[in-house]
Chains A and B, each alone.
Chain A
C-alpha cells in the first residue's frame, strides 16, 4: 500500500459555487480551515479533519466547479483533486432550488466511477418557494446515498455524518443514446492505461478536448495514444456540428427522467425584499449610488474610521507606545550590551519596535476591519452584482466584471489580491490586474493613514481620489491597447441576496486573517531586518540621497525621500512617514497632496513584489516594478505642475 492510501480516509467536497460547500466543510470539521481559503474567491483547497464514530477522516473543500470538464483555473484545481486523491467519499453538494441544473454534474461524477454521496442543501429555501423534493426516491433512482438538509441551519447534519460513516461503494450507471455510447466505446476499447476515473468519463472528456485529460492520456497510454487520438479526432469531426450540445442534452434528458416524481412545485410565497434590493443593485441609476454608499460606510467609516482610527489608537497608542514599547526598550537597555543587537530588536527599525508593532498595532486592526466588511459584503451576494455593474467599464481596461473581486480585495491587502487574480481566466487579464493592483489600488493600511493625512487639508482628498481613478482607468486602457489578446468574456451566476450570516462572516474573516499572518507577518520581520541592515551599513542613507533630486523635481522637500524608501518595505510606513512630516509642518498642502498621490502609486510593498514574482515570474514583475515607479513619478510631476498652475489647494 502506498503512503497516501494508508493515511486517513478522505472526504472531498465538490459542487457549484454558492451552494454552501464551505458551510458544510466548517460543520463537518468543526473548525475553520487549516490552509488558506478565500470562499467565493477560492483558488486553493482547504483541508481539515473530522471524526465519525471514532474514525478520523480528512475533509477537502474544493473551489466551485460547474462541470467535470474544467474551464477556469478554479475548476482545474478542483478537478485535479478528483484525479489525484483516492477518496472515501466525494460529497457533491447541490442547491435544492436548482436540482435540474446541478444534477448533470452528479451524473458526471457517478459516471466517472467516483464514490458519490449527494447532499441536497438549502432545502429550507426550496420549501419556502414551494418546492417539495422526495429525497428517498431521488436516492433510489440515482443509486447512490442522498441526504437532504439545510446545513446552515444544522438540518440534516446528523444524517449526513451517518451516511458518510456507513458509506459502501456502489456502482450505478446511466446510458446515453446508443449512437453516443457506441462512439464512446470506440475509444474505451483502445484504452489500456490505469486510471482513477472510469474510461467512459475520460473518453467523453477527451472528445470534448479537455487539454489536461489529453495530456494525461498521452502520458499513460504512451505508444497506444496515437490510435486513441486518431479515433477521437474522427468522432469529433463526425460530430462537429453538435457534440458538446449533444452530450449536455443527453445529460439533461437523463436528469429530467430522474426528477420525474421527485420534484413537486406548489407555489409558495415569493421572497420579495431580497429581489427588490437585488434589482436596485443592478440598475445603474440606483446601483452606482449604492456602490458609493457601500464604499463610504464599509471602507471609509468602518475601515478608515473604526479600524484605522479607534482600534489603532487603542492598540498603538494605549498598548504599544505607553506600555509595551517603553518596557521592551528598557528591558533591552538593561540586558543587551551590543548596540547592533539592541538596534535589531528595539531600535528605530527594530523587529519589535517596528516589525511587531506595525503588524499588530496598525495593520492587524485595519486589515481585520477590512476583512470583516469584505466578508459581510461577500456573504450578502453583492459582489456578482457589482461585477455586472462594472463589466462594461472593466472591458475597456482589458478586464471583465469578474476582476472586481480581486480589485476590491486589493483595498484590503494588495498582496492577497494578487494571489486572487488567479481566478481570472486569461493570462492577459491576470497581468493587467496585477499591474493595476500594484499601481492604483491602495491597501487598507495605506488608506487608513492617507485618509487621516489628507482629511486635514480641504480638497486634498478629492484630488487624491480623482488622480487614482484617472490613473487606474488610463493605465488600464493603455495596457489593454498594448497587450494583445482576445476580449474577455463575462458570465456570472447571481446568487440570491440575503442578510450576511454572522458565523459565515466570522469564519471568512478568521481564515483570511490567519492567511495574512502566516504569509505576511514573516515579511514584516524581513523588512525590519533589511531596514536595520540598511541603517547600520549606511545603504539606506545612500538610497535616500539618490532619491533626493527626484523629490526636488516633484517640488517636494528632500526629507520626503525617506518616506518613499520606507514605502517599499511597507506601503503604510511610507504614508506614516508623510504623517510625521506633516505634523512637523514641513509640507504645504500642494506638496502633501503630490507626495500622497505619488506614494500611493509608487512601487508596491516588498510582500506584494515577492508574491507578484511568485505568481507572474521575474520578467513580468520586474517590468511592472519599473513601469509603476516611472508612472508614479511622472504623475506626481504632472500633478505638481497642474496644482501650481491652477492654484488649486494653494
Chain B
C-alpha cells in the first residue's frame, strides 16, 4: 500500500537523522508534528516507527520505505536542478512536490535517465536502488556531470548541457568541446581540469554543465 505524503516526510527526516547523522530518534518538535498526527498514526499502524514519550524511533521494518523515500526526494532534486534547470528555493520546493509522484518504476526510469547519480545537488548521498546495483554489475559507466568525477578521473566530453547559451559558447570557445578528452585535477575550491595541453578553472555551476563519458 502507498504511504501518505505526510508520512513520507516523517520517514525522510527520520532516515536522515538516524542513518546520516547517527542519532537514534527525533523529537516531535523537530518533525514539526504533535501527538496524534495522522502521518505518525499511519506509520505506527504499519509498525514502521515507535514512539517513546516525545521521541520517534525508526524501526527496522520501516527502514526500506524510509530509504526509498529519501532516494526519491534526492532524485527529484537532481531532476529539477540538472535537467529542468530549476534551481534555488524554487527548485527545492518543486522537488518536494515531485518526489511523491516518483513511484511505480518512475523513480527507476529517472535514476537511469540521470545515469544513477550518487549524490543530490546539496552533496548528500542518494541511496542506491536496484537499478543502480544492476548498472554497476554490468559495468555500465554512462555519462556523468563533471561534478560527479573525482580528481584524477577523466574521460571524453560527451556533451554540454544547453541551459545557458552564453555559458556554452564560452566553454566551447575555450576548446571544451564534445569529443575532447578531459582530465579532472581538482574539485576544490574550484574545478580544475585539463583539455589538451591547457588547464582551466571553472566554478561548480559551470562544471555541472559539462558531461563526461567516463574513461577506463
Chain A residues near B (Cβ < 8 Å): 66-67, 69, 71, 97-98, 100-102, 104-105, 129, 208-209, 241-242, 244-245, 248-249, 252, 278, 282-284, 384-385, 387-392, 395, 400-401, 487, 489-494, 496
A102: which B residues are within 8 A, CB to CB?
175
Q: Kindly count the residue-residue contacts between A and B in the assembled complex, taking CB atoms under 8 Å apart.
A: 113
**Centre residue among A209, A249, A391, A491 by max chain B CB count within 10 A:** A491
Instruction: For A392, give its contact among B159, B175, B186, B190 (CB under 8 Å).
Output: B190
A489 touching B206 in the complex, CB below 8 Å, given contacts A101-B196, A245-B159, A389-B189? yes
Taking a contact as CB atoms under 8 Å apart, the answer to whether A490 and B173 are in contact is: no
Q: In the complex, what residue of chain B is closest to A68 when comparing beta carbons?
A: B173
B190: which A residues are within 8 A, CB to CB?
388-389, 391-392, 401, 490
A252: which B residues are within 8 A, CB to CB?
177, 179
**B33 close to chain A: CB less than 8 A:** no
B173: which A residues are within 8 A, CB to CB?
66-67, 69, 71, 105, 248
Taking a contact as CB atoms under 8 Å apart, the answer to whether A245 and B175 are in contact is: no
Taking a contact as CB atoms under 8 Å apart, the answer to whether A493 and B200 are in contact is: yes
25 residue pairs from A and B, CB less than 8 Å apart: A97-B198, A100-B175, A104-B175, A209-B165, A242-B162, A244-B165, A245-B160, A245-B168, A245-B178, A249-B178, A252-B179, A278-B199, A385-B201, A388-B189, A388-B190, A389-B189, A390-B189, A487-B205, A489-B203, A490-B202, A491-B171, A492-B200, A492-B201, A494-B199, A494-B201
A387: which B residues are within 8 A, CB to CB?
201
Interface residues of B in 160-187 (CB under 8 A from A): 160, 162, 165-175, 177-179, 186
- Bound together, the chains give a CA A105 to CA B175 distance in angstroms of 10
Instruction: For A491, give its contact among B162, B165, B174, B179 (CB under 8 Å).
Output: B174
A129: which B residues are within 8 A, CB to CB?
197
A71 touching B198 in the complex, CB below 8 Å, given contacts A284-B189, A389-B189? no
Q: In the complex, what residue of chain B is closest to A67 when comparing beta carbons?
A: B173
Instruction: For A98, give its contact among B169, B175, B179, B206 (CB under 8 Å).
Output: B175
Instruction: For A282, give its contact among B168, B179, B192 (CB under 8 Å).
Output: B192
B197: which A residues are within 8 A, CB to CB?
97-98, 129
B132: which A residues are within 8 A, CB to CB?
none
Dominant SS at the B interface? Answer: mixed
A283: which B residues are within 8 A, CB to CB?
186
Taking a contact as CB atoms under 8 Å apart, the answer to whether B168 and A244 are in contact is: yes
A67 touching B169 in the complex, CB below 8 Å, given contacts A100-B175, A101-B175, A391-B189? yes
Taking a contact as CB atoms under 8 Å apart, the answer to whether A384 and B201 are in contact is: yes
Taking a contact as CB atoms under 8 Å apart, the answer to whether B195 and A101 are in contact is: yes
- Bound together, the chains give a CA A391 to CA B189 distance in angstroms of 8
- Bound together, the chains give a CA A388 to CA B174 distance in angstroms of 17
Taking a contact as CB atoms under 8 Å apart, the answer to whether B188 and A284 are in contact is: yes
Q: In angstroms, how far is the closest chain A Cβ from the Cβ of B187?
A: 11
Q: In angstroms, how far is the closest chain A Cβ from the Cβ of B168?
A: 6
- Bound together, the chains give a CA A129 to CA B203 distance in angstroms of 29
Q: In angstroms, how far is the closest chain B Cβ from the Cβ of A352?
A: 49
Taking a contact as CB atoms under 8 Å apart, the answer to whether A491 and B200 are in contact is: yes
A388: which B residues are within 8 A, CB to CB?
189-190, 192, 201
Q: In angstroms, how far is the closest chain A Cβ from the Cβ of B62?
A: 39
- Bound together, the chains give a CA A567 to CA B171 distance in angstroms of 45
Q: In the complex, what residue of chain B is closest to A126 when comparing beta carbons?
A: B197
A242: which B residues are within 8 A, CB to CB?
162
A101 touching B198 in the complex, CB below 8 Å, given contacts A389-B189, A391-B190? yes
B178: which A residues are within 8 A, CB to CB?
245, 249
Taking a contact as CB atoms under 8 Å apart, the answer to whether B203 and A69 are in contact is: no
Closest 7 CB pairs of A and B: A101-B175, A67-B173, A388-B201, A66-B173, A490-B203, A494-B199, A388-B190
Known: A389-B190, A493-B199. 10 other contacts (CB 8 A): A98-B196, A101-B195, A242-B162, A245-B160, A384-B201, A387-B201, A388-B192, A391-B201, A489-B205, A493-B201
